Each structure stands twice: as structure tokens, then as C-alpha cells.
Chains A and B, each alone.
Chain A
């Protein structure tokens, strides 16, 4: 018995997060105590991810899972079923829905995912792009970790506070750097940015994609070009995995410059953690606005 205790202390808690963003935040809270992996590779469209056999194995070793929720990673429910780990399932001690407590924006319908008793709206799922929401996300992760490993609850709390302090300092810096872009109209390919826009007071005037996967129609495209001309839009935003042509087309028509922004950790070089993600995006936007 005396020998197993130190061995256990060294064994790190295996956490499986669906996205790289949640993995980064889990690492921020768990520190050395956790060993976090993410399933969707950076820059894959997480909404269209197809789990691999290895993912089931990853879940077998895991003691905690962290998901985005809000119908963003629906495939995760089937994966959890396949892994048949009851502890990790909905309502189990090893299950964290990172969206808990977050106010979803642009709720238009009712969730299509498996229900768990109370009504969920299916709002815009890109809530991690508001750094302010990291407070909720890390709280959810911390709670989950403390359930699994109560002995380290203090460590998680300390880690989280330290991270939030760094984030808060960074947030002030980002807000100051983006202040010149306040109210400046932008166009994006996909509606990934409402939370980001709310935090930094940006105005995403329209989106090239009508619905996910449906390309623009002629009059929609004409409407966007019209909006861009009348409102003087100078920046078109696309994510690395979105079609280059369509964005370049409206850019060329109106003289606006195209900015590639990462919506997830690791989607662009230099975005390997949650803070670096915003550093990179803020720098790209500021540079484009100065052009």
C-alpha cells in the first residue's frame, strides 16, 4: 500500500477534449496533473468530424471528457456510446459539457441532440471565441476534475485563478488593440464570430455562406457586395478551412483585404494555446485594418 500511493500520485489524469480549444483550457486548469488530448485535429471542421477507431481507445483510457456542446460536436454522443464507458456518459461523473452556464447567442431552434431533461436551444456554438466565456468553461472543467481527483481540487483552483489573471491582463490588451476596429463593418465566410464580435465590439455585417454547406446564390452575393460598397467594408474574414475563391472574389470586387483568422487553437501557425489564438487573430485584424 505504501508503495502504490506515490505511484498513483505520478499517474496523470487522462482527459479527452473534443476540440483543441478545450484541450488547451483543460491544460490551463489541470497543469501537470492532467494529460489532455483532443480528438478533432486543428483546422478540421469539428461539426463534420468522423471519429476514428483510435478515438474509442483514447476514451477507454480517459477519466474525464470535455465537450463543446450546443450541437457542435454531436458525433461525440455516438462515440461515447461506442466506448461504453458509463462514467463518461451524459450525467456521469467524468462528463463535462463546457457550455454549461454560458448564454448562447442567436438561438433559433431547439436542440437536435439527445435530450437530458431540460430544454436546450441550439444557439451559435462558437462560444469559446469570447475570452470572457473562458471563466465559465474553466469553471466547468475545474468542477469535473475535482470530482475525479478531489485531492487536487486546490491545485486546480490555483491554476485556474492564475490562468484567469493572465487572461484578464491579455483581454485588456486585446481590447485596447482592437479599439480602432470598433463598429468597423466586416464580412465573414461562416458565422463563427458572434461571441468574438460581442466581446470586442466588432460588427460582422454579413456572411458569404447562407447555411452551412450551401454556397451563395447570385443575389446573396450581390447583396454582400452592395453592403460592402455602401458601408465601406474593408476586411473579409475567412477561416483556413474555408474556400479561398469565394472570399477572394468579393475581396477583388470591392478592394477589401482578406484576413485568415483561426477559430480554433492550432488552426494557424503560432496559435498553439488559447491565449496565443487570440494574440494571432487580434494581430491579423489590426494589421488588416491598418492597411
Chain B
């Protein structure tokens, strides 16, 4: 029984998902599903804190771990789930509500399982649960051909990436005889300098499978299509949740399981990071669809977040944790404004003259865009500062220079939206009033973005690496 209490947050989310599935047909026109999802998310966050207050520990034969690291990401996932649910209130007309919320809950269950995994198999199980639900969420608007196309593309590439991860896991098992993180680490350090080709391949494949989840170049091709075809709240969920979980998994695998292979890992991660930053920033320049632009922006942010992991030190991992945390709120905020503006918000031209019509919305968007660019006093600046500091300390000066240069490039496409909002004449009628839930979610995201920029140190105490 004590083992099950370690998974209580996951059980709450899964239980709520099952309950929603059972009553799905009878609650289609009511807000029951949304309310239940938000409550389940809050309960999951609170219980994860409560479990950790009893001290960290492992269960299920060492497969599941409860520590500060997993709890940090569980709270982040619960926040993502709650905010995405609040952001979805206007997009529920054309989709089955009960199923939509149940899938969100199950995806979040998989995410939480993945971040508390201390073995490659539960890690894979959690990630698969997350991605399987994501495939359906992307294609849940069955009447829309673009949505179906996006779901099929995402499914094909996603299965390919899952296969890479499983090959990596099986080769790791072949090389070390175990899938447990601690046991892998001790097997690797015990093996000494006898470099095993099998092991190099295994680490590369596991890193590639996880890099797909955070949409790092060259495994990024699914992101723009999936984000464009999915409804905006689902795109936000993928951009924020999938990325946070991929980073959490990479962090634990790199630091705990393959901790002795730092040289190889920093080479692989530096490659992913550098390519993602360059490709994401440059291709985003030519986008006219807002969701595609944010997809390329999220690709470049995956690169920035990876900078922290290159060092292979606990400090670097803490930097990546802070980056993931702030990134989730600023990207959910940006997507929130896109969702709030409806059809108009999906294309770049829709932002012309927004400040004259809705000064408050334009100001919120400006805060989020500044944060994504990395301009103080927003959280994005603090986040970029810590990861670039970490990469400088690890000696990769060229990569740090590249990151700063691409940050300047990215300012062009982020600030172009700001210029459209403030320096152009409105071309479309003013947007209608936003639902309360949507405004509340935007306010929370903006609050975290600002507080994170003014006193980033307040979070640093929580961002403890495994």
C-alpha cells in the first residue's frame, strides 16, 4: 500500500479521467468536465507536495521515485493542466468535452509518471501514455482535414521516435544488464574505460528519443505541423507540457543513469542545442501563421533549455529546471492571447492595431513576447541568463555566443508582433469580451512571468536537481 501512495497524484488524475469517460455522454453540454479537471490538477499538485513532506523515497522495486526533482515537475505539470483547461473553455464547441478533458488528464498522468520514473521502463510507459493521448488530442477536431493530417503526421513521426527510444533502452539493457538508473550508473562506472560501441549507440538513441519530445532539431519536424493543425489549447499543451517532461526525463537520465558518460552526452546535447537554437530562430522569421511561428519559437527554446544540461552538473540541471518552469508559463501566456483572440489571433496580421482596441490584451502579449525574447524584467531573461551562465562555466564559449546572437535574431520576429500591435492601424473589428476562465489563466501566466523576472531567486530553492 505504501508504494501506491507514492503515485497518489497520478492516481487522482487517472481516477478523474476514468470518471469523466464514464459520464462523458451525459455531461456534453455542461462544464462538469472542465471543473473536475481543474480540481484534479490542484489536488494532484497538493498531494505531490504532501507526499514529499514525508521525505523522499522509492517504491515499486526502485522503479518510482519521489524527490524534490519529481515534485517540482509534478507541480509544473499540474499547473500546465489547469491552465490549459482554463484556456480551452472557448474551444469546446466542436469537440466532445468529456473525452477531451479525460485525454488531457491521462496525458498529464503519463507526464507525471515519466518525471517520477527511476527506471527506463516506467519512463517509457509514462512518455507513451502522454504521446498516445497527444496524438488523439491533435486530431480531436475530426471535422477538420488539417487536424486529421496533423494527427497522422505526428503519429507516424512519434512512433518512429518511440522506436528509437526503445532501441536505446534495449541496447542499454544489453550493455549493462539492467534498466534501473542507479544500477546502470554503477554498471557504467564499474566497467572502467572499456568503451562499448553498444553503449554509445544506446545513449545516442535514448537521447534522440527524448529529444523528439522536446522538439529539438533534427527531430523537430512534427512540431510546426502538429501545432498548426491542432486547436490552439492543444498546441499550448504540447508546447508546454511535452517540452517540460522531455527536459525532466533528459535531465534525470543524463545526470543519474548515464552520469559517467558526460563527455559523450555533452557532445550530443550541444549538437541538439546549437542546431535547435539556429534553426528555430531563423525559420521563425518567415512565418505568417502565429501557431507555426510559436512552434519554431518553441524549437529554439528547446535548444536554450538544453544548454543547462550540457555541463552535466547539478547546477546546470537546476538552470534547465528553472528554464522549463518559466518557459511553461510564458508560452502558455502567449498561446492564451492567441486563443483569446480566436480566428484573428491565428495569423500575424490579426495583431495589427490591437493596442488601440484592447490595450490590456496588447500589454499582456507584450510582456509574454518580451519574456520569450529574453528582455528584463521578465522571467525569460532570468531563465536565459542562468542557462547561458551554466554553458559558459562548462567552457562552451562558442555555444554561449551563438545563443546570445540567436536571441537577438529572435527579437526580430517576436517584436514584429509588438510593432504590429502598437504601430499599425486596426484592420479588423475589436475582439469580443474574453470568458472569465481565460482571463484568469492569462493573469496567472503574466503574474508568474513578472515575478520570475523580478525575483528569480525565489524559485531557485525549489529547482533541486536529482
Q: Do A and B come from one complex?
A: no
